[in-house]
Structure 1
Amino acid sequence: MSTVLSQRKLAITLWRQTWPMAIGVLALLGFQLVDSAFVARLGTAPLAAQSFTFPLSFLIIGIQVGMGIAIAALISRALGADEHARAKRLTSLVLLAGGAVIGVLSIGLWLFHEPVFRLLGADNTALSYIRIYWGPQLCSAWLGAVLYFIYSVFRAHGNTKLPGKMMVLSSVANLVLDPLLIFGVGSWEGLGLPGAAWATCIAFTLGLVITSQALIRKQWVSNVGLLDEAKHSWRPYVGIAAPAMVSQLMPPLASMLTIAVVAGLGDTQVAAWGLASRLETLSLMVILAMTMSLPPWLGRCYGAGDWGQIQQLIRLALKVAVIWQLGLGVILALGAPWLAMALAGTPNVQSELTLLIRFLLPSYAALGVCMLVVSAGNVLGWPLRAMLLSSARLFVCYLPCLWVGSLLFGWWGLAAGAAIGNLLAGLTAWAVLVRILSRPQRQAGYNG
């Protein structure tokens, strides 16, 4: 009976930690999907141009998420060991370093954007749209990254409500600004495609102002002893951040390769794939929320040496992931024609998007398992295994199946191959997790 109560308490706590982030992720990803839906009304060419930018945008997001994982892991471990002064120093350091790294990356992506997009398959028409969109989009990416780092600090302290609220607020602001800046109002014709990026810039700036003030009020930052702390902490930070960033960079690299394959099938397919990519992240909102709320909790357990609760938490999270994601995937697959009609602007794109939804959405249950295992591994002392698992998911399971399917059966084969790749990735992650949890302290805690 006590075990049942313990599991029930864990489930309630997991729910309380996860639901604010789930609502926040839903709002954040929802506005990205709506953003693409607005752009789709401009025509297939602007939507295809925006879709070409997704892999590089995911590259920035991958680096910021990898750094955010390290931020949450180190601060939560310090808090679990009652080292509150160190947690404040770490907060100041990682915010400064993270903003600088993303800033330098954004500048580099602007300077070399034309040859990169040509390699991805963008033609002159797409490049004409990309040139006017990419600058403000990089600005919004930098603002979003710094905001995400602040969210990571709050999550490390066990506060998921403020990040969730701020995601909703910034999403609502973007939703209001999108049609105004894209299509204009009254006699003003609007900015077209760049208006979508400028709307996001304004929304993220609003979020930064509010969260920065909250961070200062809570006195979670310190400028005392930063140099000594940097000398002491850079190795453990890099030890977590480097494999985590490599893991997070694998999806953008895979996305670049995927968009190159899709580009060979035509602009209509590129536009449909871009919408499906937005829909993928939205449908995975609960999984993404758990990858944000669960690691800090696991980090505090890690700092306290509580491996029994770590095992219970991981098993509970995986059960929730499979049941929720499979149910949602089946429902959305059944409603695929109506969902595609709501998102896509032309019948051809709607038809191609419908096929993707039917194949891909149910397979995200397996993808969710893999994502949670990788997320847990980064904070529990086996980031190298997490990195290898993330690489295997994409380059052993997903991309080969997608490419072979496309080669043999065209668009239909590409969709089916991607779904099969997700299933294989989930089964692989489960097998790795079972092996590690059978010897947790030796396998997970100390071997990396």
Structure 2
Amino acid sequence: MSVSTTASPSLARQLWRQTWPMTLGVLALLGFQLTDSAFIARLGTAPLAAQAYTFPLSFLIIGIQVGLGIAIAALISRALGAGEAQRARRLGSLVLLLGAAVLGGLALLLWLIQAPIFTLLGADSATRALIRAYWAPQLLAAWLGALLYFGYSLFRAHGDTRLPGKLMVLTSLANLVLDPLLIFGLGPWEGWGLPGAAWATVLAFALGLIIVGRRLAGRAWLALEGLLDEARRSARPFLGIAGPAMVGQLMPPLAAMLAIAVVATLGEASVAAWGLASRLETLSLVVVLALTMSLPPWLGRCYGAGDWAQVDRLLRLAVRVVVGWQLALGGVLALLAPWVAAGLSGNPEVQQDLALLIRFLLPSYALLGLCMLMVSAGNALGWPLRSMLMSAARLFLCYLPCLWLGARLGDLVGLAAGAALGNLLAGALAWQWSRRLLRVRMDRLVKTI
């Protein structure tokens, strides 16, 4: 007996309803990060380069929080799919407490070891002085942002993507208003410069946390009884998902550190351009990032119910959306590269380098997005170790070797071309990997019908 893998119009509408709030929210969230960089660029190349050096460590924090968030969404959605509502409440409480403790400890550690880390990344003494004033409020902002993300994960696991989407827009608007005030000042007050960007984010995330806390207080999604027993019961499956997911999420920051060390050999302007390109990358991948948030809880419920035919239909539909959208967006931005670069930086040398990076990198994100989607889906479908290995292959077998070789052969042009080639190879590899794993599941399904 055959199983249909054609996505129906109703399925597409359901996916749209689940994803569009997160798309707007992620767009707003990433937009304010790009806004931070655009405002900082007006302070000069040195502050912009200083911020760029912090990106790999910021990505480290984000990687751990996303790994924990993946485990939150997967375990709670599976429990709900299996009809275990009370267990889902206990899991929600456990992961919120664990996440706050883990990310708080990491932020403290990164503050204590900042000098050797930024020295290893290639920052000189003047740049490290700029970073030092910025790093403490930025770490506080990262911790608050992680707590907010865990709250979003809880809502998504219960199928509510609207509130997280709305709050991402709200915090983005708050940051947009606060950024120029705290960076440049108002009237006789001169503002705080680079640290002002971090303090604006602190205040915006604090506002979001207040609202999330009040909304959670009105929902029966948390439980305080039986937490120790639940912790013992769920420790192994939680670590089985969170461990590989966090390792997988930690690999991009490590790759980013290695990449920026390569870029640093090309000069300060190239580092500044690379930092802006990194912000633009995440903004251009907004639909992919929204799908990696909205799709896994849905897949997790299908996993809990054993509905692999629906899993196949969902993944095929999501891949068509990602590849089509990213190719169209990448092509348009590549054509508009000089104007986009001019809007993000006032330095002609940075503009030139940024335009070059946009032309090479943005179209390649169609296959990068496909790889990201497959890795996220794998964590929800019981393949966390394989997802981690796919992340490792993307970065250390495809991306970094091509980037390094390109830089050696052709400076910034070669580096950009190498990075684009690495993205293309990673996407092709992820597609073959995911189809092979899903084919095994589908064959078992057909045999049982």
TM-score past 0.5 threshold: yes
Describe how 1:78-227 pairs up with structure 2 within 5 A.
78-227=79-228
Q: CA deviation at 1:73?
A: 0.2
Are 2:273 and 1:276 equivalent residues in the alignment? no
In the other structure, the counterpart of 2:308 is 307
Write the letter of the residue equivalent to 2:344: L
Please, what TM-score do these two structures have when normalized by structure 1? 0.97
* Structure-1 separation of matches of 2:438 and 2:181: 52
Unaligned runs of 5+ in 2: none
In the other structure, the counterpart of 2:386 is 385
In the other structure, the counterpart of 2:50 is 49
Is the contact between residue 77 and residue 300 of structure 2 (CA under 8 Å) also seen in structure 1?
yes
In the other structure, the counterpart of 2:319 is 318
Tell me the SS of whatever aligns to 2:8. Answer: helix
Describe how 1:223-302 pairs up with structure 2 within 5 A.
223-302=224-303
Q: Which sits farther off after the overlay, 204-213 or 435-444?
A: 435-444
* Structure-1 separation of matches of 2:304 and 2:244: 20
* Structure-1 separation of matches of 2:442 and 2:220: 34
Is the contact between residue 436 and residue 443 of structure 1 (CA under 8 Å) also seen in structure 2?
no
Is the contact between residue 24 and residue 167 of structure 1 (CA under 8 Å) also seen in structure 2?
yes
Tell me the SS of whatever aligns to 1:187. Answer: coil
* Cα deviation 1:303-347 (Å, max 9, x = unaligned): 111011011001110010000010000000000000000001211
* Structure-2 separation of matches of 1:170 and 1:233: 33
Please, what TM-score do these two structures have when normalized by structure 2? 0.97
* Structure-2 separation of matches of 1:16 and 1:406: 43
In the other structure, the counterpart of 1:358 is 359
Q: CA deviation at 1:5?
A: 9.1
* Cα deviation 1:338-383 (Å, max 9, x = unaligned): 0000001211100000000000000000001100100000110111
Is the contact between residue 72 and residue 95 of structure 2 (CA under 8 Å) also seen in structure 1?
yes
Identity of aligned residues (%): 69
Write the letter of the residue equivalent to 1:372: L
* Structure-1 separation of matches of 2:56 and 2:129: 18
* Cα deviation 1:56-92 (Å, max 9, x = unaligned): 0000000000000000000000110111111111100
Tell me the SS of whatever aligns to 1:159. Answer: coil
Tell me the SS of whatever aligns to 2:186. Answer: coil
Write the letter of the residue equivalent to 1:127: R
In the other structure, the counterpart of 1:344 is 345
CA separation of 1:4 and 1:247: change in aligned 2, threshold 3 A: closer
* Structure-2 separation of matches of 1:440 and 1:3: 14
Is the contact between residue 103 and residue 142 of structure 1 (CA under 8 Å) also seen in structure 2?
yes
Q: CA deviation at 1:125?
A: 1.1
* Cα deviation 1:198-234 (Å, max 9, x = unaligned): 0000000000000111111012111011111111111
* Structure-2 separation of matches of 1:243 and 1:44: 38
Q: CA deviation at 1:180?
A: 0.1
* Cα deviation 1:223-271 (Å, max 9, x = unaligned): 0111111111111000000000011111000000000000111100000
Where in structure 1 do 4 or more consecutive aligned residues deviate above 4 Å?
A: 2-6, 441-444
Q: CA deviation at 1:442?
A: 8.3
Tell me the SS of whatever aligns to 1:438. Answer: helix
Q: CA deviation at 1:3?
A: 6.6
Is the contact between residue 60 and residue 141 of structure 1 (CA under 8 Å) also seen in structure 2?
yes
Write the letter of the residue equivalent to 1:53: T
* Structure-1 separation of matches of 2:5 and 2:119: 57
Tell me the SS of whatever aligns to 1:286. Answer: helix
* Structure-1 separation of matches of 2:190 and 2:278: 29
Aligned residues: 443
* Structure-1 separation of matches of 2:357 and 2:405: 16
